[in-house]
Structure 1
C-alpha cells in the first residue's frame, strides 16, 4: 500500500523522508536562565529522530533574553548558543531526520522579571504584567535579533527555520487588532499590522536560503479578532515574500474558550491552503495514522504536525505505519523488535 503520510516531500531542496513533523513544544528545561541546551533536550529530540519522524522542529527559541516565555526557555540570542545547537542537529541527523528551529519572541506573554515588550501597553489578562509599548527603535532591534538568530541557526546546520507568529506571542500580537492598538505604521490596517512580520521575513531571508515556515494562529476566537479568511490575505503576502509553508495553529492571543476535538484546526489549514495557494501544515489533536492520511489524501495540508502524541509515543511513525498497513525502515539496532 502506498500512503501519502510516508511519501517524501522536497521543499526548497530539502527532502523529508515522510510528512510527519514534530511540532515545536517548549520544554522549559534550560538551567541557570542562560538559554543553553541540556541533556534533556539531547535525549528528547534525538529519541524522535530514532522514532523516524521526518522533520523535528526544536521548541520556541528566544531571539532576545527579554523575548523568553519563561526563564527556562532555550535561547539563540548569543553566539555562545550555536555550538550546543550544532551538536543537537548532528545527533538528530544521524538518524535520518531533518531539523528545524522555531525562532520566537514572547512579547506580552513573557513571564520574567523586569520590563516586557508588546505592540501596545495591554496586559494579556488580569494576572499578567502590563507590557511596555515598543518604540520604533525597539521594533528595529527585535527584527535584527530575528536576523541574528537565523544566522546562528544556519551556522548550527538546521535544515528549516520557522518564525513563531502564533499563540499570542509578539508577532501574533502585532497581527491581531485585539492586541495591537498602535496608530503608527505598525498598527491600524492589515498591511500595517503585518509590517513587523514582513520585516522579520525580509531580514531572515538576507541570511537564510533554506526552507522558511511561519506558524500562525489562524483564529482569535473573538468577535473582533482575526479569522482564517484574514489569514488568507496574510498568507498570500507570505507567499509573495518567499515563505515556503504556513504552519496553521489557532488561538491564545486573548483568553478565549475554544471547543477542541480531533483535528479541530485542520479546517483552518485547508482554508489557507486553498485560499492563498501556499503549502500548509496541519496541527491539533491529530493522533492516528488514519487521521493523518485523510488530511493529506484530501489535500487539506502538505505536512502533518504532531505535538502531544509524540510526547506519548516517540515512535509514533511506526505506530502509524502499522495502522496503515505499511512497513517503514527503523534503526538497525531495533530490527528484531521493529517489524
Structure 2
C-alpha cells in the first residue's frame, strides 16, 4: 500500500487528486511543539476523510520526562477525540533524547502510549533505522514500527533498503503526488489491515440493526430529506447516506445556532438518544439519578447529565451536548 505523511509544509492539498494517484493511506501531523494543532490539521483532516481516507496522526516527541510526555499525549487525544482516527504514531528523533538512557526513554514512550491507549487509540513508533538499531530499547517496546530509511532519497524505493522490522517504510522525502504542489514523504505499508484503504472509514455497523432503523426513522421524522426531497431509506444499515443525514439533522437542531442537541432541544432524535442511553447503561442511570431517563424527546438536565456520563464512559469529549460523534457512539 502506498501512503504519504503530511504537515502544513505541504500547503493546500487536493485530496481527491491524491486519492486518484493511487495513494492508499495518509498520516497527518497532529500538534506542534507548543501543543497547538498543526496549522492545516482541520483542513487536512476534513479533506482526507471526504476523499475516503481514515487518517492516522503523528506527534513529534520533544519530551525528556514521562510527565511531559503524558501531557503531550493528552493534547493529541484532545485533538482527535470523536474523529475517525484509529492510531497515533510517536515520532522519535529529537536529538536531546539520545542523551537519555534506553530505560528512561522507554519510560517516556510508554507514558505517552498509556494515555493514548487508555483513550481507545492504537500506538505506533516512528523512527529512522539508526534509532531503531542504536537508541531505542526495541524488545521492551511492544508497538508497530514505522521506519525511515532513504538511501539516495531520490523519490524511489530500493527494495534492498526495506527495514525488516517496519510495518511501514518511509523510503523518501522527495516524493511527487498529484494534488500536492511540492515534495512529500512517501511510505509503503506492509500490513494492509492497518488502513483498509478504499473502504468506508467509519467504524459504525454495516448490517441491518433495529437501533439503526429507529435512528433512520427518527431522522426522517425530524425532517430529513435529501437533495431530491426523498426521506432516508430505513434499512438498518449505516452507510454514507445515513452518516450525511445525521450531520444534516444534528447541525440544524436545537434552539441555538450551530446545532447539536443540548438543554432546550426537542425532537424525535432526542427521544432516540434517551432510549439508547436507557438501553445501554440503564443500571448506571438508575444508580445516578434514581430512575431511567424519561423518554419524552426533551433535552433536559437529566438527559444532559447522562449524555455527559456516556461521553466519559466512552472516552469522548465530556461536553454534555450531543453531536454526531456522540450519536455515532450510541450505535
TM-score range, shorter chain: 0.3 to 0.5
The TM-score with structure 1 as length reference comes to: 0.40
Greater relative contact order structure (CA < 8 Å, 6+ sep): 1
TM-score with structure 2 length normalisation?
Answer: 0.40
Larger radius of gyration, structure 1 or 2?
2
